[in-house]
Amino acid sequence: MRLELAGRAVLVTGAASGIGLACARAFLAEGARVAMLDRVPVPVLDGLVVQADVTDESQVVDAIASVVARFGGLDVVVGCAGVSGPVGTPLVETSAADIAKVLAVNVTGQLLVAKHAVPHLPVGGSIVLLASDSAFVSAPGMVPYCASKGAVVALTSALAVELDGIRVNCVCPSIVDTPMARADLGDHVIDEADFPVLAADEVAAHVLYLASPVSRSINGQAVLADFGVSARSGFPA
């Protein structure tokens, strides 16, 4: 399938590792011009590297301005920056500071990037956000994270309605083999899992499709990539 992404100007946040890095590499492989934004150093690729914290509005403004100055505009924005928070900790034992950090990165960060990128996106432009299957299903000890990803799904549909001519969708993967997941769960859980685990490259493929003009009829959707787990009824049959 030809995705028609060659030459397009793409901004990827959270590009230092995991899904964001996989997305940056995938867009570059398609011939796109890619700006990679993260608050920590990004591996040296062929794209433009911009260091910024998505929770700081002034840094977001400056970062997007520098990308637009370099590329002459934007065609695609991919919001991958995210944190998991204190996985396994009950809400009653979670500090307000930890709750605020998760919401700041996963929700406010997406809002700020969208707010300041939208004026530079043309009709036909695309925004793809990274949410999670945790927007739809839950595990103990992940209340702030689940709440934040539910907010990203709501943000996706709200932006799709508000923006004229710019498509907004999100990808909601289940567990992905990333440094963050390994830090949260342990290498043994990922390596010895008796459940399906996504590769970051597989998630990136979903992102590229939604970013591409090929998917022009898809707007305001949350694409759930969980191997069909959430579709199964609890009925014993």
Question: HSE (CB half, 13 Å, CA atoms) of 84?
Answer: 19
CA distance 229 to 148: 21
CA distance 107 to 151: 7
Q: Any idea which residue has 């995705």 for tokens? A: 3
Catalytic residue among 145, 200, 210, 223: 145
How far out from the chain centre does Cα 237 lie?
36
CA distance 54 to 119: 17
Q: Residue 78 is inside which H or E element, if any?
A: strand 76-79
**Token pair of 189, please?**
């859980």
CA distance 198 to 110: 23
| 209 a catalytic residue | no
Phi, psi angle pair for 226, to nearest 5°: -130, 25
Q: Any idea which residue has 């899992």 for tokens? A: 193
CA distance 125 to 119: 11
CA distance 23 to 205: 8
- Percent composition of the chain: helix, strand, coil (DSSP 3-state, to 5): 45, 15, 40
Please list the active-site residues: 145
